[in-house]
Structure 1
């Protein structure tokens, strides 16, 4: 049987249905964001850990020039090393007829029979290679799917300058290539980058590596010191041309995954916290208003014998219903959103299984925080109910204390009409409510600024990188450094209207105890296709001597202009020399240094060589150029600026569009919730005053201005505050992204702020229109009937 208080609760919920729905939506948004983001974080982390464990993903990686296989035993004897696997790793080129340009390939050897002891492949289709079958190969799944290749198909490939034809026997995933990027590339492109696994014997024979290796992976013992093992590996392999051992945390694919997880973990805390704090504020406002309006009912209930605890529990039930409704909607929306985000991440990160799994712990935490914040918001109002004596509740509340408004103090009251004066007085009488409402709207504006930053920052990065820095149309990468005349040969190819060479050499930068692996690029003195720029966008020319570093690399190494640092060259004779820091440039990708090619040549003490050709081309002859480049055996990669730009937009566009939509929707919910609830509360509390003004001759538009003017001022206060808060959020989120791989610039233009303001204003206007309809329904006779 439904009790009297429960029937009252149902009537209250129906009467407050608009406010109940808007507050529940704010709660739902916070719960949904928490469950979706935490669930995605847990799903990605679970998929990664399970994959690494299943395939025994290595802990340390090292690439070198060449070492005899006997050195493997020395590696195994290093304290802390549990297992070592050596292999041959070289570059190749795939000239597919369906592609106009050659495809870059990473060739990796597998032990006889195709079974690795570390970083084992996950076979998706077909089988592994069989011993003695030198023409068999296994392809990376993303590349095979991009070109429709299946077991049984033939694959043309250039191996050490010789065109061979391999038979595809299997398609596999690898823990090393969950996100497959070619070395030096900015985006993953499955159509233009392949990983090909072959039996070790034929691959070693093709590169004259019989009885030797140039790549190794190590598994460490549980109690091993990673730093000490890496130091020992570098000391052992330095004589064999080691490029420097790296831990798993610096392995490219794993580093990208870790960066995404770090950002997701940060966002899953910040965003839900904002929503639940706003929900607590709204519950406090609505419940306080309900207590104010129901003073006589509360007094009557106490007078006929209801205890304070019973009445307090009744109002807590109201909070429980609203929070429960929001939590239910939030859980359902969070599951749907989580699955959508997981599917989106599945397009970038290639795991054998990546499913959104409902994290019961996350749901429990979300519900606990939701109800705790709701009760915290309602506590003050419920305490007033329980402390209200029946005799006092029988009387109307004491009139508010009136004082001179700021308009009177400043002696400018005559400049404002009666409506404006009423608005100012009401706002000044409720400073905490005004500040709370403005802060809540500011939080939504801040989130909208973040949404705008994702798009604006990406646009700025792409414009700087692909229009100001990279001015060439085509980048041609050679399998190994070529004589400088190779650039002249490229310049004579059909369709080439300009050609420049660039020398790139891998190095290790060292300053005291700080060090980083990187690369130094050397540019022609008269080169125009690559333009370096500082943080203010000004062109920076490489000096005649010394090196120009990226800003971030300079910060990591702790160097300033004029300082010298050690440079360990990872190529050729591998000299260890010192270079003077001549300046800094601002770049969005990687850690590198820049020099004039003549200075770099002197530094390396080598003949004029180039690693890369930069071309400007005539689009009308592009196909002829592609055919000629595919026929050049020493060319391993041809990348077009337009293709990189399109790929970057495609990969980032879907993710940014999803995040922008989600943040915009949630921020609009906050704004609607705050403006609508505040306006409804103000209307309920001031209905008699507004109706009196109507009787006295005020038009509907004038009383609308009085009521909604308060909300307008709160929104106007919130806009600059929200923009400041948004910039704080942007800097905080940017700090969670691993800057050594990718740096989204903090660009907050007028467009970002205008977008945030527009969404907030539109949501506010829609909320105001909903309340405006209620003003038209005022009962001018009934509302003037009072007890006094």
Structure 2
């Protein structure tokens, strides 16, 4: 049998169903984000580890120029080494179409028999190359799909200066290439970078590596410190042109997967609590006003023998029902959204398999936080229920004394009509309620402002990177550092307008315990085609006495101008440099370190040598220029700025950056929920007053104006608050979205703020219309009765 209090609970829920649904929706969205994001963290981490283990991805990579196979035994004898395999690795250029630039590629060897002990590949179609067939390859599936290549198609590639034609016998995925990016670049573009595998004998002959290897793959025993093995491997291979061994954390593919997991983990701990905090605030407003409106009922319940704890539990159950319903709906939505996003990440990161794995702790945390935040907001109200005695509760509250309040509405009598004065009088006489409503709507606006600001930040990243900073049309890289005459040859090519040199050197930058594996880029003192800009977007002149770091790199290394860095160059003679930091630069893509090109080449003891160039070109002569570039064996790679821009836009729109669209949708829904809830609360507590106005002769329009005028004033007052809070919240969201690939700036965009304000005004208009429909249908006789 249902108790009287439980029947009252059901009636109360039915009466405030609109407000309960709005609050439950906010809770559900917070829990959904928590379940989805923590589930994705769990899924990506477990899938990555399973993929690595199943296909035996190496723990340490040791590239060399050329080392004899006998050195593998010495590496295998190192303490903590479980397995070693040598392979041939080389760069190549693939020629797809006559009128298109050559595509950079990486060629890797497979054992002549069997499968690799380390860094195995997953065949998605076809078969491995047959032994003795030097013209057969297995192609990376992502590139094949991007270029519409299938089994048995032929492709032409230039390897070690010789042009060869290959037949595709298989398509494959690899744990080493979850995120495929060309050397020296940071944005993935499946159509602009290829990887293919050949049998060891065939590839060794192509690169003069018979009986030798150019990269050692090392697997470590559990608990082995990678750094000790890296140091020992570098000592063994130093006389064979070792470029510096590195562990799995510095593998470019693994780094970006790790960065995405970090961003999701950060977002899952920062964003859902914001939504749940908003829900707690809304619940506090609803329950406090409900208790105030039901003073006499509370007195009657206590007079009939119900204890204060029983009455308080009744209102607490109301809160808990809304919170639990929201948490259940959010958990189910989180599983559905997480499963969809898992498929998205599988395609983006090229996993051969993925299953969305929910973290059970997210359900516990989601329910616990939902119930806790909802309960905390209610406990302050329920204290008043305990304090009420039946006699006091059943006695009508003393009319509020407004004699000392400044009658602003009366002073405005000459300019305002009666309904307008009623709106103004209520606002001035109940400032606490108005402030609460302003904070609620302002919070919704802040969520929209911050999300739209991040959207504008993505566009700013693209515009600054490819307009203000990079003003070239094309970037060329050489197979090996070249003498200055190579620049003269480039300048004489048909269609080349300007040439600007660059010298890059792979390096490890260290500041105490902080380190970063990247590159030092040598640029002219006053670069014009690829400028270095300050935080104020002003060109920086590079002085020869030190380094200019990207601000993101300075943050990673915990340094500021005036500090000194240890720079381990991993190229040429591999000098160890101590260089001061002379400034920081605003770079929104990557985390580079810049140095004046002459000072860098002198430090490398390779004066005047360059490793690439930026070019501006005449687009009317591209066909002739492309043909000439294909004939230059010293060119290792070519990329167009337009292709890089397109790749970055694709990354931001369909890669991990697409999460911002989910955030925008969530923010829009929450904003509407908050505004609608505020309108419903105002309507619920003024139903009797509004019905009285109708009886007194006010028209429906005038009565609606009294109610909706208050909502309009509150909404307008919430706009400045929402803008200020949203701007601060934008910085938190920008940190979560920024990665090693790109950094998202917080920019003041009038367009974004205008859209957010329009969204709130639209939500207010729609909420007002929904409430007015109920007001027009109100039963005045029932509304004027005292509710028992």
So what's the TM-score if we normalise by structure 2?
Answer: 0.90
Deviations 1:454-504 (A, max 9, x none): 322121111121112211112222222233333333333333333343332
In 2, the alpha carbon distance for the partners of 1:361 and 1:516 equals 33
In 2, the alpha carbon distance for the partners of 1:436 and 1:270 equals 23
Q: Secondary structure at the match of 2:158?
A: strand
Which residue of structure 2 aligns with residue 550 of structure 1?
550
Q: Structure 1's 723 and 212: CA in aligned 2 closer, same or farther, altered over 3 A?
A: farther
Which residue of structure 1 aligns with residue 219 of structure 2?
219
Which residue of structure 2 aligns with residue 93 of structure 1?
93
In 1, the alpha carbon distance for the partners of 2:785 and 2:459 equals 61
Q: Secondary structure at the match of 2:349?
A: coil
- Whether the aligned pair in 2 keeps the contact of 1:103 and 1:636 (CA below 8 Å) is no
In 1, the alpha carbon distance for the partners of 2:753 and 2:590 equals 30
Q: Measure how far apart 1:160 and its partner are.
A: 0.3
Q: Measure how far apart 1:121 and its partner are.
A: 1.5
Q: Secondary structure at the match of 1:448?
A: helix
- Whether the aligned pair in 2 keeps the contact of 1:442 and 1:719 (CA below 8 Å) is yes
Which residue of structure 2 aligns with residue 81 of structure 1?
81
Residue 166 in structure 1 maps to residue 157 in structure 2: no
1:5-24 counterparts in 2 under 5 A?
5-24=5-24
RMSD after superposition: 3.5
In 2, the alpha carbon distance for the partners of 1:554 and 1:303 equals 69
In 1, the alpha carbon distance for the partners of 2:407 and 2:64 equals 78
Q: Secondary structure at the match of 1:191?
A: helix
Q: Measure how far apart 1:742 and its partner are.
A: 2.9
Which residue of structure 1 aligns with residue 349 of structure 2?
349
Which region of structure 1 is more displaced relative to structure 2, 721-730 or 652-661? 652-661
Q: Secondary structure at the match of 1:503?
A: strand
Deviations 1:236-256 (A, max 9, x none): 444433333323222211111
In 2, the alpha carbon distance for the partners of 1:527 and 1:298 equals 77
Which region of structure 1 is more displaced relative to structure 2, 594-603 or 306-315? 306-315
Q: Measure how far apart 1:394 and its partner are.
A: 3.1
1:570-585 counterparts in 2 under 5 A?
570-579=570-579, 581-585=581-585
Q: Structure 1's 687 and 512: CA in aligned 2 closer, same or farther, altered over 3 A?
A: closer
In 1, the alpha carbon distance for the partners of 2:372 and 2:512 equals 51
In 1, the alpha carbon distance for the partners of 2:526 and 2:323 equals 68
Q: Measure how far apart 1:118 and its partner are.
A: 2.2
Q: Secondary structure at the match of 1:169?
A: strand
Q: Measure how far apart 1:422 and its partner are.
A: 5.8
Q: Structure 1's 307 and 235: CA in aligned 2 closer, same or farther, altered over 3 A?
A: same
Which residue of structure 2 aligns with residue 135 of structure 1?
135
Which residue of structure 2 aligns with residue 520 of structure 1?
520
Q: Structure 1's 446 and 646: CA in aligned 2 closer, same or farther, altered over 3 A?
A: same
Which residue of structure 1 aligns with residue 609 of structure 2?
609
Deviations 1:129-186 (A, max 9, x none): 3444433322212112222333433332111011112232322211111111112223
Which residue of structure 1 aligns with residue 728 of structure 2?
728
Deviations 1:41-96 (A, max 9, x none): 22222211211221222222232333333333333333333322222222111112
Q: Structure 1's 563 and 7: CA in aligned 2 closer, same or farther, altered over 3 A?
A: closer
1:142-541 counterparts in 2 under 5 A?
142-304=142-304, 311-382=311-382, 384-385=384-385, 388-400=388-400, 402=402, 404-405=404-405, 426=426, 433-510=433-510, 515-523=515-523, 528-541=528-541
Deviations 1:177-219 (A, max 9, x none): 1111112223211111011122222222322233333322322
In 2, the alpha carbon distance for the partners of 1:511 and 1:661 equals 38
Which region of structure 1 is more displaced relative to structure 2, 612-621 or 159-168? 612-621
Q: Measure how far apart 1:787 and its partner are.
A: 10
In 2, the alpha carbon distance for the partners of 1:672 and 1:579 equals 54
In 1, the alpha carbon distance for the partners of 2:570 and 2:77 equals 25
Which region of structure 1 is more displaced relative to structure 2, 334-343 or 253-262? 334-343
Q: Structure 1's 203 and 185: CA in aligned 2 closer, same or farther, altered over 3 A?
A: same
Which residue of structure 1 aligns with residue 633 of structure 2?
633
Which residue of structure 2 aligns with residue 41 of structure 1?
41
- Whether the aligned pair in 2 keeps the contact of 1:259 and 1:738 (CA below 8 Å) is no
Q: Secondary structure at the match of 1:539?
A: coil
The number of residues matched between the two structures is 787
- Whether the aligned pair in 2 keeps the contact of 1:503 and 1:523 (CA below 8 Å) is yes
Q: Structure 1's 573 and 298: CA in aligned 2 closer, same or farther, altered over 3 A?
A: closer
Which residue of structure 1 aligns with residue 754 of structure 2?
754
In 2, the alpha carbon distance for the partners of 1:534 and 1:349 equals 33
Deviations 1:276-309 (A, max 9, x none): 2222232333233333334444444555555656
Q: Secondary structure at the match of 1:628?
A: helix
In 2, the alpha carbon distance for the partners of 1:24 and 1:405 equals 38
1:659-674 counterparts in 2 under 5 A?
659-674=659-674
Which region of structure 1 is more displaced relative to structure 2, 250-259 or 298-307? 298-307
Q: Secondary structure at the match of 1:348?
A: helix
